[in-house]
Every structure is written in C-alpha cells, then in structure tokens.
Amino acid sequence: MPKVTAEHRLARRAQIVAAARTLVAEQGFHKTTMADLIEVSGLSAGAVYGYFKSKEEIVAAIAEEALGTVENLFDDFVDPQQPMSPIDALERLLQHVVSLAERPGGDVTRIALQAWAEALHNPAVMAIAGAKYTDIRGRFELVARRAQAAGILDPDADPRHIAQVLFGLLPGFVLQRLILGDTTPETYTAGLRAVLRG
C-alpha cells in the first residue's frame, strides 16, 4: 500500500463530494447511482468505495453540506454577538446564499430542496437536517437576543419564536428563486422592509 497523507485523503474525498454535488443538483438523489459518481469523479470504483461505502453515505454527505450552507455563512458574515437588525442579518445571508448557488459545480440550493424531501423518508438525512436546522435557528435566536438587548426588538417577545420566523424566511426565498425565478435578495428584503414598516 502506498503511503497516503491525511491531506491527500481529504482532497480525494472533496473531489468525490464535488462530483456527487454536480450529479445530485442536476438529477436528484434518486436517479444518481454509484456508477454515475465513479464516472464523473474520474476515480476508480475502488477509490470511490474507499471513501463512501454506499450511495446512502454519499447522500448523507451531500445533504450535510447543503443543509449546513447557512450555518457556515453565520461564521463568515454574521456575528450573532454583535447587535444587528434581523433584517440586515437576513439580507447578508440571502446575498451569500445566492452567490454560493451561482458558483459552478452544482447549485447548493437545489440540493437543499432534494434533502428536505429525502429527510421525510430517510432517517439519516432527517437526523442531519434536524441537527443543522436546530443549530441555524440557535444562531438566529442569538441575533434576536442581541437585537432585543439593543432595543431593536421587543424585549418581551420569545426569541425562539423570532428565530422561527427569521429562519422561516429562507426556505421560501430559495423556493421562489428556483421555481419562479424572479425573487432576489433585493426584492425580498424590500418586501420585508415594507411589511416591517407597516
């Protein structure tokens, strides 16, 4: 056996996940086969199976990546420790979701839609979705608590309920962008600001 560094293994795994993301974004989880994945990844069957033993493991890895997109954005662009109006936080998240979706190599928001449907019938994906979305809502709860402490939001409201609404605005944005095509971070936040001013 040749000596394989951890770095090399991570790069190989990323290469396989990237191939799977492209396939799933194009054709969905159900139509994607291990044979497709081996072909698109450019690796041997043995190499692919060395990282992922079954299609189920690939589906879980791709779902985890797609459902965690907004989680990673919080780390990069939103500091829940700083008071920020919830709408400003949302606007930043929407802009970055779109910029990620438009990257070549598979629209991550298309995969998120697949993962929502898959979660209902696949306990592994449901567990990933539950954990990721609990975490993301927790980030929004921190945004809400900071906004309450800073006097931007009503301090008597339950920050968990505010977090449900802030998080709850994201799926409808993604869905309209994919199905109706006319919804952008600019139009969506303009609508939200109008409702808030109302």
Judged by the rule CB under 8 A, the positions of this chain that interact with a copy of itself are: 27-28, 30-31, 85-86, 110, 113-114, 116-121, 126, 129-130, 133-134, 137, 147, 152-154, 157-158, 160-173, 175-176, 178-180, 183, 187-188, 190-198
Judged by CB, which is closer to a copy of itself: 42, or 168? 168
Tell the smallest beta-carbon distance from residue 130 to a copy of itself (Å).
6
Cβ atoms within 10 Å, residue 73:
20
Judged by CB, which is closer to a copy of itself: 14, or 179? 179
Token pair for 189: 């936040």
Q: Which position has the token pair 């697949």?
A: 114
Judged by CB, which is closer to a copy of itself: 10, or 196? 196
Tell the smallest beta-carbon distance from residue 88 to a copy of itself (Å).
12
Tell the smallest beta-carbon distance from residue 15 to a copy of itself (Å).
24
Tell the smallest beta-carbon distance from residue 90 to a copy of itself (Å).
10
* 3-state SS, residue 77: helix
Contacts of 120 (CB under 8 A, 6+ apart): 126
DSSP-derived secondary structure letter, 66: H
Token pair for 118: 């898959």
Question: Is residue 32 a contact partner of residue 24, using CB atoms and an 8 Å limit?
Answer: yes
Tell the smallest beta-carbon distance from residue 193 to a copy of itself (Å).
8
CA distance 91 to 87: 6
Judged by CB, which is closer to a copy of itself: 51, or 65? 65
Judged by CB, which is closer to a copy of itself: 58, or 163? 163
Contacts of 167 (CB under 8 A, 6+ apart): 133, 136, 137, 140
